Structure 1
């Protein structure tokens, strides 16, 4: 009797060689994907470093010129000027004399029904702040006109149109202009205001400030700022970083923040009374390596030069 022996069927699957080939191809594809992701991550990090460096330079360039333009070198505003620091009287507000009673000055409120703006400041003056008020002098001659400097020793808020505040009789305000939300300020000064300071005289409020390049606790160099207020403890507050990091300070023309001073003829000057133009160079550098091409990382450097002409100088 014949018997038929079943031939076992071949099981479906991959041979060892096929598996090795597949794994090799997957490794190549996976390696290419990882390499692409790493390049994208490197490009992103480098672009971020570049943008942040330029942003810090722009921040310094945006803040300093507005302060520097208010300097009156002829008026003695500059107290310290070096290649790494500048200290001066920074104007933060202005107003108009509404009353001068016994040497105490009153200001016009900020908001007027007429829509005119006679008072404007970045911050409300406080005791210890200084001011310059224009004094026409006792005669009509220009020779006795000038700015009188003094310091605020008492500041009172006046919330109604009383006679010792900013009365409507001056013609500068109307009934209802002055309120608790829109006061006039009575300013008692370290030197009583002269009786020749008339209603309508201009007032400039200022505070001593300093900009400088300094090294912080992280060993990076920043543009720092502090202000000084008489009667405060301490008088000058702690230096605060406002932009950076920048290149380290150096006296060879590569400093991260560098000031230079010129007179009306364009010559370098060391006399604070003769400064007509201030040149500011800001040199930034990245905190990490920038590698956009993939050939190797380097520290990114960029710079910006700003020229600021001072007021009352030709």
Structure 2
């Protein structure tokens, strides 16, 4: 891999982030007839938070405070400058809390939940998929194929609703929502960690079950596609043990596309399993984004989506640079 190629890929990373960030800036402004300041003040008036008199004066004052009274191009230039400093301003729905503070609070919850769930589902699904395609595997494992097909088409949130009804509402094994026990101390300790794990079991199980079929069926398809390759036939003809052929030849080569998909999945981890977090009232990035879109909170939308964009673009960049290490057959040439 040449240094020129690495530089080109890094430059492309910044171009992609800039283009996507620009698109996200203009997209909410295309919504016809919606003014986030007017909507927010209207909600405050409806709940008795402020007096309805001089509403237009309040709207003008807040638009000036948030810079929404300026021309769009000037807002865009200011926005780009703020993004470079990771300054997304104040949240409209949680004023005067800054967007960065909201993201800083929500991000660890999403990373903890999604990272563990994704890796567990990837590991179990990959092994199951390999065994489903392996002719020497126990025949009983084929009974898992229909459930995995079914799991692969059921969305996260539907699993969440089913699990809430069965395990939380009916059996009362797990809590229905939340991330910690109400009133519990959030000081980092063993009891706090145990409480967090206990409350995250249902959302994690929803994600694992919903993605298990995807990983297993993907791995099974790759294993089937390489079953007739020359190196597989040669290894079998040499009389190698079945376990060595399975792990060293079949799984190792079939893992490459799985690794690519895993890297991209980890890149999108900051978006959270949006509807799962909403169903379980889990305080992650997905729930923050859902509330921001519902409240038409420009600045929170900008901040959350920016980190998602950077995560996806960074995962793609890293994967592109390390792929030759994963598969020696791949080489990038000049030109």
Same fold (TM over 0.5): no
Normalised by the shorter chain, which TM-score bucket? Answer: under 0.3
TM-score (norm 2): 0.23
Greater strand content: 1
Greater helix content: 2
Q: Greater RCO between the two (CA within 8 Å, min separation 6)?
A: 2
